[in-house]
Amino acid sequence: MRLRNVPGAREIMIENEFVFTEPENMAGTWKEVFGNNNPVRIEIGMGKGRFITTLAQMNPDINYIGIEKYSSVLLRAVEKQDELRLSNLRFIRMDAENIGDVFAKGEVDRIYLNFSDPWPKDRHAKRRLTSRQFLERYTDILKDDGYVEFKTDNRGLFDFSVEEVKESPKWELTTVTYDLHNDADLVEGNVMTEYEEKFSSQGNPICKLIARLK
């Protein structure tokens, strides 16, 4: 994503009531944050947040946490949430590499990854959010039958991701499609992300996989 630095975004994040900028000691505390026992679902690399905000509006009995590395990107989602004030939506500004410090085992019900950065060079493969290294981190926070849903239009990244799941003994693939928007069984209820709208309007097919903990 091309990043436009927004002056003051960092300070806004630190002060905003819906954003956590120092989440390292929060593992095990999310029930208290939301004030209920509802399932917690997270999106890693949420960008401007349309997907997770829409889900939070649609499903008030599920708690959602959007995770984004950059304050300047997160800003748009935070401004929207300042208007909506959804009680089941929070944000974390962090690099997801340290996600295991932020959630206890079993605290997360589902992980969404949408149009994740491809990191095309082989030597950067472990930075891809669907790499085996990240899958291992997800096993530390997901509940036993939890799963990961991943969408992208990047076929190289998608093929890599399918292989990584197949190579990870703790995971199994339950769904794979190479054209989500023309798959009658899967497209119903699909919530579009900003990138999904942009790339599908250019004619790119959208791939999706669902991987479940065995």
153 binds ligand SAM (CB under 6 A): no
* Site membership for ligand SAM, residue 108 (CB under 6 A): no
| 194 labeled part of a ligand binding site | yes
Under 8 Å between Cβ of 92 and 19: yes
CB 96 within 8 A of CB 45: yes
Binding residues for ligand SAM, how many (CB under 6 A)? 21
Shortest Å distance, C-beta 181 to ligand SAM: 14
**145 among the known binding-site residues?**
no
Helices and strands (DSSP H and E) totals, the chain: 8, 8
Question: By CB under 6 A, which span of 11-19, 110-118, 164-172, 199-207 interacts with ligand SAM?
Answer: 110-118
Buried b (16+ CB within 10 A) or exposed e, 114-147: bbbeebeeeeeeebbbbbbebbebbebbbeeebb
CA–CA gap between residue 196 and residue 177 (Å, rounded): 15
Give me the active site residues, please. Answer: 117
Q: Annotated binding site for S-adenosyl-L-methionine: which residue ranges?
A: 43, 68, 95, 117
Residues near ligand SAM (CB under 6 A): 1, 44-47, 67-70, 73, 95-97, 114-117, 193-196
